[in-house]
Structure 1
């Protein structure tokens, strides 16, 4: 009887092996697929990772948008990190400049990377960063501090129902991942 089931067992093992390989491959493909999906749809609040040029298409002074700034450090980052102000009023199309403070509170040289997010997620495509400390890693010597620039504008094409958006940064310690 066991000999009669050998072909069936062999087919099942092959099918299960193919399923495992396919699932493993799909797991690796999810991250880049998710990134593309978020970039296209503007979901998850992901902003552009490169500078944009200022598009002087006029300032819409009939609208005022409140931009709130939040900052946090990841668990392993022994840094102090905060915006110079909690919020700012902007007219769509108007260029603004703000700064974020960072201090390396460790006793050693360290490198940090800020990762931005905008909410509501639909507004991420309209929040245009001209200059941002988040584009580069930030190396600081032990106990050094710095004011880091953010220059931005809100695209006038932002949907009319969005009157407030939040720009949030999480600062990660990436010292271990950088080449010395």
Structure 2
């Protein structure tokens, strides 16, 4: 009986040693993984600095810079901002132009103020010049994505976050972003009846 008890105790001691060894190994693995992950941060930054990948420069609302995405610093594009109001409100950009690098995430703010004593719903429609720049002007955030409802006497700042695609043709050095902000839901003025009567009939299409 005493021999059996000694054998059982020996097995228990062996299990304890095994468990302690396994726990120690797991702790070492966790420590190594943590150290490896921590070491990757400066290594990743160093690789980005050497290769130019993932180097970002973001402009804030008024043209300041913070970090952002891949930037072609060898080129500068002048972006001009224009505004047209078609309704009883004031609408304008806070800056009329900005120098940006292709690939640089940039923010411009437009201000709008409803001077009326009623709520107004409005929609902004963008346009670009030259036309060939349209496909390279990538808006990430824009008030033009949906209708805007302005409360009576409300003033608001509305940001546009954009990136100019580095694939923009080299000869394009200036881009104009223009917004027409018009009231939604107002009746469309109809042409006088006489003008409709005097209008020439459309030419018949050839067979």
Tell me, in whole angstroms, the C-alpha distance in 1 between the residues paired with 2:84 and 2:149: 18
1:142 aligns with 2:152: yes
Given the two structures, how large is their TM-score scaled by the length of structure 2? 0.56
Tell me, in whole angstroms, the C-alpha distance in 2 between the residues paired with 1:107 and 1:132: 26
Deviation at 1:175, TM superposition (A): 3.7
How many residue pairs match? The answer is 120
Matched with 1:158 is 168
Matched with 1:59 is 71
The alignment partner of 2:167 has SS state of coil
Structure-to-structure mapping, 1:63-102, within 5 angstroms: 63-74=75-86, 77-102=87-112
Bigger Rg over Cα = 2
Gaps of 5+ in 1: 1-54
The alignment partner of 1:134 has SS state of helix
Deviation at 1:59, TM superposition (A): 0.9
Deviation at 1:73, TM superposition (A): 0.8
Structure-to-structure mapping, 1:2-41, within 5 angstroms: none
The alignment partner of 1:63 has SS state of coil
Runs of 4+ aligned structure 1 residues displaced above 6 Å come to: none
Q: Which has the higher contact order (CA 8 A, sep 6+)?
A: 1
Matched with 1:115 is 125
Tell me, in whole angstroms, the C-alpha distance in 1 between the residues paired with 2:139 and 2:108: 11
Tell me, in whole angstroms, the C-alpha distance in 1 between the residues paired with 2:97 and 2:71: 19
Tell me, in whole angstroms, the C-alpha distance in 2 between the residues paired with 1:148 and 1:121: 24
Q: 2:143 aligns with which of 133, 149, 157?
A: 133
The alignment partner of 2:82 has SS state of strand
Tell me, in whole angstroms, the C-alpha distance in 2 between the residues paired with 1:176 and 1:119: 29
Tell me, in whole angstroms, the C-alpha distance in 1 between the residues paired with 2:185 and 2:157: 20
Deviation at 1:112, TM superposition (A): 0.7
Deviation at 1:176, TM superposition (A): 4.2
Given the two structures, how large is their TM-score scaled by the length of structure 1? 0.64
